[in-house]
């Protein structure tokens, strides 16, 4: 199993600013992912955070808007850049440990852009 800590848990930000969300795992994991969940909606995969290389983005998401870092096997950050009210969502970090068939999720970061 894996325990995931996301920071901050919530934030209210001004449009045009950027917010960096941190994801810390209590053990080394093979795969880390970032998701977005808009109000009342399902989860949408933003990107796969690759250790030591550039993240792999899904269609509709670009690095300039959502830069991702993964400096080691237990930590990743997602930055939401130049925010607009449309970016108001919950952002979730997910990991897969390699030895289990289930994925683990953080509690999420609730972002409100005003």
Partner 1 sequence: LAKTTQPISMDSYEGQEVNITCSHNNIATNDYITWYQQFPSQGPRFIIQGYKTKVTNEVASLFIPADRKSSTLSLPRVSLSDTAVYYCLVGSLDSSYKLIFGSGTRLLVRP
Positions in the binding site for partner 1 (CB under 8 A): 4, 31, 33, 35, 42-45, 48, 92, 94, 96, 101-108, 110
Q: CA gyration radius for the chain?
A: 13
**Closer CB to partner 1, residue 69 or residue 107?**
107
State the minimum distance, in angstroms, from the CB of residue 61 to partner 1. 13
- Give the count of alpha carbons within 13 A of 6, CB side only: 25
**Closer CB to partner 1, residue 18 or residue 38?**
38
Joined together, the tokens standing for residue 110 give: 């609730």
State the minimum distance, in angstroms, from the CB of residue 4 to partner 1. 8
Q: Residue 16 gets which letter from DSSP?
A: T
Q: Residue 58 gets which letter from DSSP?
A: P
């Amino acid at each position: 199993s894996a325990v995931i800590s996301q920071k901050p848990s919530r934030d209210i930000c001004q449009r045009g600013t950027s917010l960096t969300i941190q994801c810390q795992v209590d053990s080394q994991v093979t795969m880390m992912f970032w998701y977005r969940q808009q109000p009342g909606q399902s989860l949408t995969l933003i990107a796969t955070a690759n250790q030591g290389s550039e993240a792999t983005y899904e269609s509709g998401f670009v690095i300039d808007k959502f830069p991702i870092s993964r400096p080691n096997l237990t930590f990743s950050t997602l930055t939401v850049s130049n925010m607009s009210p449309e970016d108001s969502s919950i952002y979730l970090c997910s990991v897969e440990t390699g030895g289990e068939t289930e994925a683990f999720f953080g509690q999420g970061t609730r972002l409100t852009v005003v």
